[in-house]
Amino acid sequence: MGGAIYAHFQSIPAWLAAPIVAAFALEAVFYVAAGWEPARRLVERRLRGPALATGMTLSGVLPYVIYAAPTGLFCWTALGCVAVLAALVSFWYVALPRRPVTTLAFVALVAGVLLAGLFQPIYGTPLPGLKLGLLGELMWTRLAVLAVLSMARIEVRGFGFLPDRREWAAGCANFALFLPLGALLGWMLKFSQFHLRPGAWWQTAASAALTFLGMLWVVALREEFFFRGVLQEWFDSRVGLVAVSAAFGLVHLPFRGFPNWRFAILASVAGLFYGRAYLGGRSVRAAMVAHALVNTAWKVFFS
């Protein structure tokens, strides 16, 4: 329904919108299943090892085919790239042992592919301004999550889509602590300044709500899963908080032109509060809340 409404307002013709909406709908089902423990456990009971990795790879390719074939954008080279990337992340722990060094390399691979922006040129676009690389990013994220949870069997505390009361409290508290510091630091670094977008209050509220949900379930979910849920768990709480926050900031160096040290510094400081939320809520979802609130405030009021 949401895809159809979006296509209507963007004047996307029905023959083009149908396969795009179908591809995103299928990817959404896979994406939700990866983050919903009962569905994930059901698959794990039926498929293991190479069989599970093969199923993951095929599920990564299918949304591309559904979108690209009917729109005339299908390309064997692009299909091969999608298949290779999907297989690489799916078979990682089939080919390599579960060790800290291989997991660290895996996290670097996941981040590197996203930072390189590979999916937009692979997936292409049927219309100017309609970027469908997001379809590949969603695929890459959920396959990476499944590789950690279902293939490597690494326990990640509190992973999922719906925070509980304790997680909301920890996330909101750390957002409130970071907000004045982040605003001051952004002003001192000449990175951002407060502004109100023109329009009615309800438009700003709707924009903030939609931005928050997108940040919570895509950007924050992906980044907090790996940085807090996987990496920070390796260290003593204080050492891990600082070390992982610094690494989190360095990953943001390519933002709007490399090297963006201003953004890296802000991201590192924000990462301290995401890490505190993770420790306080004992959950990735708590860090996701703090992260999504910070990103939403920045997008709506500061960018």
In angstroms, the CA 36 to CA 150 distance is 12
Return left, alpha or beta for 170; rule: phi > 0 is left, psi -120 to 50 is alpha, else beta. alpha
pLDDT greater at residue 298 or residue 81: 81
- The token pair that represents 122 in the structure block: 């692979």
Amino acid in the structure at residue 4: A
In angstroms, the CA 272 to CA 270 distance is 5
DSSP 217: I
Give the model's pLDDT for residue 198.
65
Give the start-to-end residue ranges of the domains of the chain: 2-151, 165-302
pLDDT at position 4 over 60: no
User: In this structure, what are the phi and psi dihedrals at residue 245, rounded to the nearest 5 degrees?
Assistant: -65, -40
Give the model's pLDDT for residue 3.
53
pLDDT at position 9 over 50: no
What mean pLDDT do residues 188-215 have?
80
Angle at 245 between CA 240 and CA 250, to 5 degrees: 130
Q: Is the peptide bond before 100 cis (omega within 30 degrees of 0)?
A: no
Give the model's pLDDT for residue 204.
79
Q: How confident is the model at residue 239 (pLDDT cuts 50, 70, 90)?
A: confident
What mean pLDDT do residues 145-151 have?
96
Amino acid in the structure at residue 118: L
What mean pLDDT do residues 250-265 have?
89
DSSP 302: I
User: In this structure, what are the phi and psi dihedrals at residue 10, rounded to the nearest 5 degrees?
Assistant: -95, 5
